[in-house]
Amino acid sequence: MTTCDLASKECEPCKGGVAPMIPADIKTMMGQLDGWALSGDKTSLHRRFEFKGFLKAVEMANLAAWLGNKQGHHPDIAFGWGYCEVTFTTHEAGGLTENDFICAARLDALVA
């Protein structure tokens, strides 16, 4: 599967009791993304987008929020002058699921 395959997938509604991905699968999925980093405990992935000024950062935050709401899979977003940091994790699983990678790939496709 490539990034564009991931970006063409839709998130599945998060059902309770879903297990987080195992490290081997996380490694495989990370290979399909560019620019995203794993948290130390491998429970989330994040990317820092940098811009000149504030309004571009606000735009990025809004784009990530819109995408997450459309997919029913919501990011954590931090932004300020010159940057927007987007983090995906699956709260119901207490770790990463395919939804996180789909949203990351979809966000990259929107800003490509």
Ligand X SMILES: C[C@H](O)[C@H](O)[C@H]1CNC2=NC(N)=NC(=O)C2=N1
**List 30, 46, 65, 92, residue binding ligand X (CB under 6 A):** 92
Using CA atoms, how far apart are residues 46 and 89, in angstroms rounded to an integer? 9
Assess 14 for contact with ligand X (CB under 6 A).
yes
How would you class 38 by CB atoms within 10 Å of its CB: exposed for 0-12, middle for 13-18, buried for 19 or more? middle
Assess 9 for contact with ligand X (CB under 6 A).
no
Contact map string, positions 51 to 90, toward ligand X, x by CB under 6 A: ---------------------xxx--------------xx
Assess 30 for contact with ligand X (CB under 6 A).
no
Inter-axis angle of helices 98-111 and 55-71, nearest 10: 140
Which residues have CB under 8 Å from 1's CB, separation 6+? 32
Q: Shortest approach of ligand X to residue 55 CB, angstroms?
A: 26
Pick 10 or 50: Cβ nearer ligand X: 10
- DSSP class of 95: B
Pick 55 or 61: Cβ nearer ligand X: 61
